[in-house]
Structure 1
Amino acid sequence: MLLSIAVVIAFLISTTQALNPKNIVLAKETSPDIELAKKLGKEIIAACPVVSDTKNLAAFNSCADKLTKLTTLRETMNAPFLWGAQSKVGNYNLKDNQTTKFDPLVWRRIYLATFMFKGEPKVEQINNLIVIHLPIQFRNQLDIGAYPYPFWHSSKKWNSYQQSTELLLFLEQKKLKGALRSAVVDSQRPVVNHVWDGNWVWNDAHGKKQPYVTLYTRLFSPSNPHVAKVDAAYRAFEVNLRQHACIVCHSPDNAAKQNPLLLLSYPNQALSLRHETVRQIKEKRMPPPTGIVNDQERQKLLELAQAFAQAGDQALAYEGEKITSSQVHSSN
C-alpha cells in the first residue's frame, strides 16, 4: 500500500514539473531550432563587430567577405530572401511589411554588410516562428557608391537604416525566410544627410560605374570565370527591358507598388528575378498585362532572359551557392 502511494506521489510530482511553464520555456530554449538561431546570431555579430569609425572601408570589406563565407548563414537562408523595414513594433509577419526579394548571396554581402553588430543575440519564439534580434549600428559614412542604391531617395528609408536599433531575422522550419530593420529607432543617433540627384546609377570622377557594390566584380570572387559572361548577359537583357519599359516597375522607388518589390535595375540585385523573368515572358505576363505583342520581339527578350539566367546560375554555383532544379527547369 505504501509503495502504491509513493508511486502515485512520484507521478504527480513529475507531472507537475512537466507542466511548469519554466520547464516549457527551458525546453524551447534548448531546442535545435533555438540553438540554430543563437548560432546564426552569434556568428553574424562576430563577423561584423562595431568599429568606432563608420567609414572604415577595411572593416566594411572584411565584414562583407566574412558574411559571404559564413556556412551556417548560407545554408540556412531561403531563396529568395525577403528584406525590408518593420511597419510597426511587434509586427513579425513578413507579408504585412514592405519587402524586396533578393538572392541570398546578394543580401548578405551587399546589404547585411552595411551594418555592424554588438552584444548578444536575443531569440524569441512565437508559435513556429523564431525571431532573432541583433543590436545594430549602420555604416552611414561610407562613400555613396558603397550602398546598394541611393537609400536617401526617401528620407524615411534612409533614417530607418541610420536609426533602427535592431535587425530582425525570421527563422521558420530551419530556414531564414527574411529580415527587417526594426521599427524601434533611436532618434538620438547621429545621421548623415545626402541629397538625391535623381540618378539611380552614375559614373564617378574616374569614370567608374556606381554604385560599385551593385557590380558583379563586387559580388563574385576574382577567380570566378563567369563574371564577364553574366555581366554581358545582364547588360544585353537590361537594354531590351528598358525598350519595353520593364525597368520602370522594377526600380527602388517601386512605382508599381509591388510587395514584395522585384528589382531589375541593378546587375547583382536582378539575380533574384533571373528565372521569374523567363517564366513571365514565356507566359506573356511581362510587361503586364499581356506581355509583348510582337512574337519576334518577345522571343528575342526571352532568349536574352534565358542567357542571363544561365550565366547567373553558373556564376553563383561557382561561389558555392545552391541552384535548385526548379530554378533551372523554369529557365528552359
Structure 2
Amino acid sequence: MDVLIRTKLLSPSAWRTGLLAAVLALSCGAQAQDKRAVPPNIERAAAEIAAELASQCPLAPAGDVGAYNQCRQALFGPSQLRAHVAPIMLWGRQNKKENATLRQTNLTQFAPDAWTGMYAPLFMFNGRHTVEWVADEKMFLVRLEAAFRNRLPPGQFPYPFWHEEAKWAMYENARSMMLWMSPETATIKVAQFTDVAPTPMLQPVVAVQHEKYQGPWLWTDEKGHTQPAVTLFDGLYRPENPYLGSVDKRYRDLATQMRESQCVNCHVPNNPDKMSRLVLLSTPAHAAAEVDRLIKAVREDRMPMDEFRLSYALSEDNKKWLLESALAFKASLTAARQWEDEAAKKTVQSAINPLKVIK
C-alpha cells in the first residue's frame, strides 16, 4: 500500500511544472477575456452612431444655437443613438480616481427622452471612434472624439453646470464621450464624458466664467421667460402646440406638491444627499422623463426618504394630492406628444402631396 501511494505522489519538479502550467492557463484565459473581439453587432452600432453624430452634430462654433437645436431635434427623434439607449441609462463625468469603476462613480439616471433631448446634443462630433472590451465592467466601451458647446446661452443647458466648478471645467474641456454598451443587446447602459483622452481637443476652447450657482433650478429671465428654456421642450415641440401651456401649468402644480412632500429636497442637480444614482425632477423635461417612475414610487411608499435614506409613507392627503398632480402632468404630456405626432404626419403628407389640404 505504501508503495502504491508513493508512486502517485508527484516529484517536486513535476509539481512545479504542473503549477506553472495551471498559472499559464489562467493567465491566457484572462488575457483572452481582456482582448475579447468586438462582435459585428457592436461594431455596427458604434459605427452607425458615430456617423449619425458626425452628420447631425458636427463641429460648429461653441455658441451656435442653431447647430445645437438641429442636433437636438435629430437625436430626440427616431435616431440611431436613441434607438440604442437603454430604458434607464446612467450619465455623468468620468471619475478622476485612478481605476475607479462605474459602480464607484456617481451618475445620474435618465430616460432616453431626457438624455437625447438635453445632454447628448451639448456635444459635437467628428465621427472618429474606437471600440474596446473592458473586462472589469463586462461591457464594450465606445470612445467618441467630441467637443462641448460651452458658449451657449445659460437657458440652453438643462441646469447651470457651473454650480460645481470641477463639473463645469470637465464639460468645457471635454474631449471624448464614452458609451458603455451591453455585449448582449448593444444597448447603451452608461454614457460619460471626459477631458482625458489620447487625442487632441477638436477645437480651441474659450472658457466662460460663471458665478457659482446654487439655484433655483427654474428661474425667470429679464424678459419674463422661464429658464432653462431647453427644459420646457423649446426647440423640440412646435411653438403652436396647444398643450404646452397645460404641460407648464401641470408641472408647476406637481412641483408644488413635490415640495409639500419633501420630494425636491433630494432630486436636484447639486445632489445634497450625495446619492450615487441621482434622479432629477427639478424641471418639466426632467420630470417628464421620470413621471412613471415617480408615480410608481409614491404608490409603493418608496419616496420620499428621511435623513437616513429610509423611505417612508406620505400622509394620506399628501399622497393623494401628489399622485393626482403627477397623473395630471402625465396626461398633459401625453396630449402634447400625440399632437406632435399628428403634426409630424401632416407635415410628411403635405410634402408628399402639397396640393391636398389636410384637416
TM-score range, shorter chain: 0.7 to 0.9
Corresponding residue of 2:5:
none
**Residue of structure 2 aligned with 1:198, choices 198, 211, 214:** 214
Q: 1:182/1:293 Cα in 2 relative to 1: closer, same or farther (>3 Å)?
A: closer
Cα distance in structure 1, aligned partners of 2:302 and 2:213: 33
Would you say 1:182 and 2:207 are equivalent positions? no
Corresponding residue of 1:44:
53
Aligned positions of 1:130-279 closer than 5 A: 130-172=140-182, 173-182=185-194, 184=196, 189-199=205-215, 200-222=217-239, 226-279=243-296
SS across alignment from 1:248:
coil
| Rg larger for | 2
Cα distance in structure 2, aligned partners of 1:93 and 1:317: 41
Would you say 1:309 and 2:330 are equivalent positions? yes
When structure 1 is superposed on structure 2, of 218-227 and 201-210 the one drifting more is 218-227
When structure 1 is superposed on structure 2, of 37-46 and 195-204 the one drifting more is 195-204
- TM-score (structure 2 length as normaliser): 0.74
Aligned positions of 1:49-198 closer than 5 A: 49-51=58-60, 53-88=61-96, 93-127=101-135, 129-172=139-182, 173-182=185-194, 184=196, 189-198=205-214
Tell me if the contact between 1:76 and 1:175 (Cα under 8 Å) persists in the aligned partners. yes
Tell me if the contact between 1:29 and 1:35 (Cα under 8 Å) persists in the aligned partners. no
SS across alignment from 2:279:
coil
More helix by share: 1
Q: Count residues in correspondence.
A: 298
Cα distance in structure 2, aligned partners of 1:121 and 1:96: 25
Q: Deviations over 1:84-105 (max 9, x none)?
A: 0110488585333211112212
SS across alignment from 1:254:
coil
**Contiguous gaps of at least 5 residues in structure 1:** 1-23, 321-332
Q: 1:105/1:276 Cα in 2 relative to 1: closer, same or farther (>3 Å)?
A: closer
Corresponding residue of 1:16:
none
Cα distance in structure 1, aligned partners of 2:289 and 2:49: 23
**Contiguous gaps of at least 5 residues in structure 2:** 1-32, 342-359
Cα distance in structure 1, aligned partners of 2:55 and 2:62: 17
Q: Deviations over 1:164-217 (max 9, x none)?
A: 210001111221112101251679844211113533222112100111111134
Cα distance in structure 2, aligned partners of 1:75 and 1:294: 40
Tell me if the contact between 2:214 and 2:270 (Cα under 8 Å) persists in the aligned partners. no
Cα distance in structure 2, aligned partners of 1:317 and 1:171: 31
Q: Deviations over 1:27-61 (max 9, x none)?
A: 9456122111221122112211112x211122112
Cα distance in structure 2, aligned partners of 1:235 and 1:211: 14
When structure 1 is superposed on structure 2, of 309-318 and 98-107 the one drifting more is 309-318
Identity value in percent: 31
RMSD: 3.0
**Residue of structure 1 aligned with 2:321, choices 291, 296, 300:** 300
